[in-house]
Amino acid sequence: MKKFIFLALILTGYIINAQAYRERSYNDHEIRFNMGRFLMTTAVEGSYEYYFTPDTSIGGTVFFNGDALGKAGNFGIGPNLRAYFGYRPKSGMFAEAFGLYYTGQNNLDNNLGIRDYDYSTTAIGLGLGRKWSTFGEKLTFEMSAGLGRNINPKEFQKTFMFRGGVSLGFRF
C-alpha cells in the first residue's frame, strides 16, 4: 500500500508540474533602437538581446556618433547580461551588468597649443530599467539608466560614464 501511495504522489507531482507555466520557444531574439539617445545627441545606437530563459538575457550594444569630441566618444561596443523581475516573461523591471569599449578624441592644452588626441577606454557598470511588451510580445518599449567606471587607461580610471536610453524594440 505504501508503494502505491508513493507512486500516486509522484504521478500527481508530475501532472501538476505539466500544468505549470511553460516558456514559449519563439520571440527569443530582440533588436532595439535607442531613440532617446538619438534625439539628445544624434548618436545612433542599436542593441540585440537573446533570451535564454524568460527571466534572463544576454545582449550587445553598438553606437556611432559623428562628434568625436563629445563626452561619450564616437564609437562604442559592449555586452550586457540582464535579469528580469516581473510577472510577465521577458518584461518588467530589470537589472543589468554591462561592459563598454568606446573611442573618441580629447583636447589637450599644452605649451604648443590645443591638440586633439585619440583615446580608447573600457568601462564596466550596472544599470536598472523597465521594459514593457505588447500582448503578442512583438513590440517593446524600454527605459533604462546605468553607471559605469572606466578601467583603463590610467588617466580615465577615476572617471565615470553614464548610460541611458528610451528604446523601441522588435522581437522575432
pLDDT at 22 over 60: no
38 contacts 47 by C-beta, under 8 angstroms: no
Q: Compare 133 and 7 and report the one with higher pLDDT.
A: 133
Whether the pLDDT of residue 135 is over 50: the answer is yes
Report the pLDDT value the prediction gives residue 16, as an integer from 0 to 100.
Answer: 54
Instruction: Decide if pLDDT at 13 tops 90.
Output: no
The mean pLDDT of 133-161, rounded to a whole number, is 87
Mean pLDDT of 96-115: 78
Cell, residue 113: 597649443
Residues 73-95, mean pLDDT to the nearest whole number: 93
Predicted pLDDT of residue 108? 65
| Better pLDDT: 28 or 109 | 28
- What the block records as the C-alpha cell of 64 is 556611432
Burial class (CB in 10 A: 0-12, 13-18, 19+), 3: exposed
Phi and psi angles of residue 10, each rounded to the nearest 5 degrees, phi first: -65, -45
Higher pLDDT, 105 or 54: 54
The pLDDT value given to residue 46 = 97
pLDDT band at 121; cut points 50, 70, 90: confident
pTM comes to: 0.77
> How far is residue 148's CA from residue 163's CA, in Å, rounded to a whole number?
8
pLDDT band at 25 (very low <50, low <70, confident <90, very high): low
- Residue type (1 letter), 36: G
- The β-bridge partners of 30 are 49, 171
Q: What pLDDT, on a 0 to 100 scale, did the predictor assign at position 51?
A: 96
Q: Report which of residues 17 and 65 the model is more confident about.
A: 65
